[in-house]
Structures are given as C-alpha cells and as structure tokens.
Amino acid sequence: MTSYLDKGEPQNKYVPGEITFELKANETYEVLFSIREMDFDSIYKLIKNSIKYAEEYGQIIKSESKKFNLDTIDKDLLMDSIDAIYSYTNFNEVEFYAGFPYFNQFWLRDALMVLPSFLSIGNFAFVKKILLKIANEINENGLPNIINGTLYPKDVLGQFLIDLYEYFKYTADTSLINLISNKKEDIIKLCSKWMNNGFIHDKGNETWMDSIDREFSVEIQAIWAKALQGFYSIFKDQTAKEMSQTLKNSLNSLFKEDYLMDQKNKDINSANQIFALYFDVVDSDKKEKIIKNIENNLLSEFGVLSVSKNDKIFNFNGYQTGAIWPFLTEMFAAVAFENGRYELGKKLLLILKDQNDNAQCSSRINEIFQPDGIPKGCPSQAWSISLIPFIIERNILGIDINLPEREIIVKKREGITAKKDISADGKRIDIDIKNGKVKSNIGILELSDKFILEL
C-alpha cells in the first residue's frame, strides 16, 4: 500500500511490485491483468480483442503524432501524451476522466485544462460536444467541480470561458457562442457578485488547491482576467473588458520584489503564480523576475514544487504545500518557451520524460511526486501529461489560429525547427518552421516579430 504525504494514511490503491523479464532486441512481451477470475475461453477472447484494438489504437496515436514534427520534445513523451488524451476520454458518454484509478469521474476543471490539446490535434467535434455538455451545467452558482456535483469552485466557469474562446478561434463556429449569449448577462452578474475590492473573492476550497483554506487566490484572478478578456473579444461586452483590466491590475499588485504573492493577504511564494504567466496577464516588466524566482526557488530536479522550498509554509509531506505537481511543470515549460527561455523549457520537458513518465503506470505520469522524486497520489493523472500537444503548438511553435479573423499567427522562434499540419477552414495547412523563418502552402505576410498566414 502507499500512503498520503501529509497524514500517512493508506491510499486506496495497491502497487503490487515489479514484474521483470528479459527481452531480446525488438521483442515485445505482454502481461494481462484481471481483477476477476476468468476461464480459458474468456481469456482467449479478451487477448484476441485486445490485439485487434491495440493495433487500431496504435495507428491512431502514430497518425496524430505525425502532425507534430519537431526535435524539441522527446517523441515518446509526445506519443504518451496523445495516447493519454484518448485513453482518459469516453467519446460515447462525452466525458473526460481526471485520472485512474480514483479520479474516474468527469472532473470539469481537469477536462477544461486539457481540452485545448484536442484542438491542437484537430478533434474539434469532441471539443464542441464536451463544451456543450458543460455549458448546460452553468447555473446561478457557476459550474460545479464534477458533473452533478455540489461544490462550485471559482475557477471552473472561468476556465470554461477560456476554452470557449479558444474553440471559437479555431473553428469560427458561432453555435456555442449563440447558446452562451443567452447566459452572458447572468455570467457578468455572477462575476460582479464575486468581485470584492478589485479581486474575485474565493474562499476555502474554491480553487484547485482544495485541501487548503485560501482566499483571494492569485490563480483565480489570473483565470478570470483571461476569461473576461476572451468574453469581451466574443461579445464586445464593455463590463467584461473593464473587469478583466481591474483583475489584471489587482493581480499585478500582488507582485513583491520578484514574485507574485499566493493570496491578497498572505505572502506565500507558491507555484500558483505560474497561472498568471501562462495566461499572459502579468505586466511585461515583471515576467522575467517571476520566471527566475520560480526557476531558483520552486524548481527541483523532479519538477515544480507547489510552494517554494524557502517559504515558511513549505512542508516536505504537504499535498499542496510542498509536493511536486507535474501539470505545473508542463505549464512552466509553456511559460519558458513563450518567453524565449528555450533551454529552460527543454529542461522542464526532460524532467517530465526522464523523472516523471512511467513512474507507477506505463506511459503515464502521477498526480504528484514527493520533493525527493518518490511518486505519490493517483498513478495515472490526465493533466500531468495531456497539456503537451497544445503547449507544442501555442508556446513552442508559436502558432495561434484565429479563424474568425481569417489568419494564423506564427511568432518568430529562433532555434526551432519543426513541421506542423493544421486543420483550419476545412483544409489542411502545412507550416514549416526553421530558425525564425516560416514556409506554408498558403500566403504569408512577414512582420518584425511574427508571420501572418492569410486564410
């Protein structure tokens, strides 16, 4: 049995040990596990079907991986991430599960964090279905943490609006926009209700850090500053624009020397400031200082710590006050690439591959790791690995699709060599990036810091 970090209580999972065997070059060996007794005929049928499905599934993963051709990221990690995206998804029920074995529910926050990766691999139909399903859950309290849940965190509705805008940019599909337009006044009223002296007022367990009592949390301000920015872009709602700017100003007021405080009234150097960088709502003159602070005080050889090792509340055994969360490492990698810190970005991707991947589940990454690298928590967590396709497209390659504006932006990236196939406007678009130059099968306009591909 394994135990929780902070309390030492047994977790409801069992890690049976290691199975070892010798393999010759290019030889494969399959082990079948069952949680129930099976007769020979049932086992034979299961093996036969698993071989068939594995071959079909493997071809899908290989096909999707070929859309991303670059040397910046380990190809096995890329394939594992795409494999994970599909394996956590129930297409028939239109659900996305947060992790196995014990987050096998449709957690909205986790799904919404991962959903942009479905856009990057071109699965727009599923994104539309899942956004539609979630949209129908919006009520006077916002959005619950899980479908039919009773807890209403402050971040989930904001994350939904961010994904809604991304979907609109990728597809120019107005059907979801028309649906949300009927709820837009209620959403603005709810945000106004939550506002308190320029901040969204979250309290208790209303953030992803649901084991800690927090208030006026930095990532809540970041998520909503970004969400309302997109809300304005879609609906031209002036109140949304003003609230977004207010939240951005409030968030930046949390800056202290070289980091953003975790909360309005608590001076804690936590990893939550990564959200502000990831959603690009930090003043430009503060970004490099914050990145260096995270690099120096929160980054370990096994990933990003939830709280700085030098902070007074750091707890080696703390679930969210010390543990490494790989999804934060992914987000920090995105931030590094977006801000020209390519070597740091590559280092973070290597940590995910060499220190996190395959720890307790083949081709998957744990929910958390102890600061010394021991894997803990859920052994197969969706958002620990599934952000990678979107990070490649948006942050490493600098590709930003905006179909309503009939353009694709490709930011200039020195030292990056890659090819990316994109589905946009019902056709395939080839983008070839090499040392700050871009070639494509559609027209290109070059500016000082970016290329505009005209659809």
For residue 386, give both structure tokens: 């599934």
pLDDT band at residue 236, thresholds of 50, 70 and 90?
very high
Burial class (CB in 10 A: 0-12, 13-18, 19+), 377: buried
**Do 193 and 92 sit in the same domain of this protein?**
yes
**Does the residue 55 lie in any domain?**
no
**Do 391 and 438 sit in the same domain of this protein?**
no
Average pLDDT over the chain, rounded to an integer:
92
**Do 185 and 101 sit in the same domain of this protein?**
yes
CA gap 147, 190 in Å, rounded: 20
**Does the residue 297 lie in any domain?**
yes
- Weakest-pLDDT range from 51-55, 117-121, 406-410, 413-417: 51-55
**Do 198 and 234 sit in the same domain of this protein?**
yes
**Do 325 and 422 sit in the same domain of this protein?**
no
pLDDT score for 412: 95
Domain boundary among 369, 396, 423: 396
pLDDT score for 4: 47
Query: 177-196, pLDDT tens digit by residue?
Result: 999 999 999 999 999 999 99
pLDDT band at residue 61, thresholds of 50, 70 and 90?
confident
Residue 180, domain extent? 66-396
**Does the residue 1 lie in any domain?**
no
**Does the residue 58 lie in any domain?**
no
**Does the residue 154 lie in any domain?**
yes
pLDDT score for 55: 74
**Do 195 and 114 sit in the same domain of this protein?**
yes
Please tell me the chain's helix, strand, coil percentages from 3-state DSSP, rounded to the nearest 5.
45, 20, 40
**Do 140 and 79 sit in the same domain of this protein?**
yes
Percent over 70 (pLDDT), the chain: 95
SS3 427: strand
pLDDT band at residue 16, thresholds of 50, 70 and 90?
low
The domain that contains 120 carries what CATH number?
1.50.10.10
**Does the residue 307 lie in any domain?**
yes
**Do 414 and 275 sit in the same domain of this protein?**
no
Query: 368-396, pLDDT tens digit by residue?
Result: 999 999 999 999 999 999 999 999 999 99
pLDDT score for 77: 93
**Do 299 and 448 sit in the same domain of this protein?**
no
Percent over 90 (pLDDT), the chain: 76
**Do 386 and 412 sit in the same domain of this protein?**
no
**Predicted TM-score (pTM) of this structure:** 0.91
Tell me the residue type at 288.
E
Total number of domains in the chain: 2
pLDDT band at residue 7, thresholds of 50, 70 and 90?
low
**Does the residue 20 lie in any domain?**
no
- Weakest-pLDDT range from 8-12, 331-335, 338-342, 381-385: 8-12
pLDDT band at residue 56, thresholds of 50, 70 and 90?
confident
**Do 288 and 407 sit in the same domain of this protein?**
no
pLDDT score for 267: 97
Task: Check the CA dihedral 230-232-235-239 and report its sign.
Answer: positive
- Report the pLDDT averaged over residues 213-239: 98
pLDDT score for 63: 82
Q: How many CB atoms lie within 10 A of CB 168?
A: 21
Taking 90 as the threshold, does the pLDDT of residue 300 lie above it? yes
**Does the residue 35 lie in any domain?**
no
**Do 387 and 419 sit in the same domain of this protein?**
no
SS3 93: coil
Taking 50 as the threshold, does the pLDDT of residue 166 lie above it? yes
CA gap 384, 110 in Å, rounded: 10
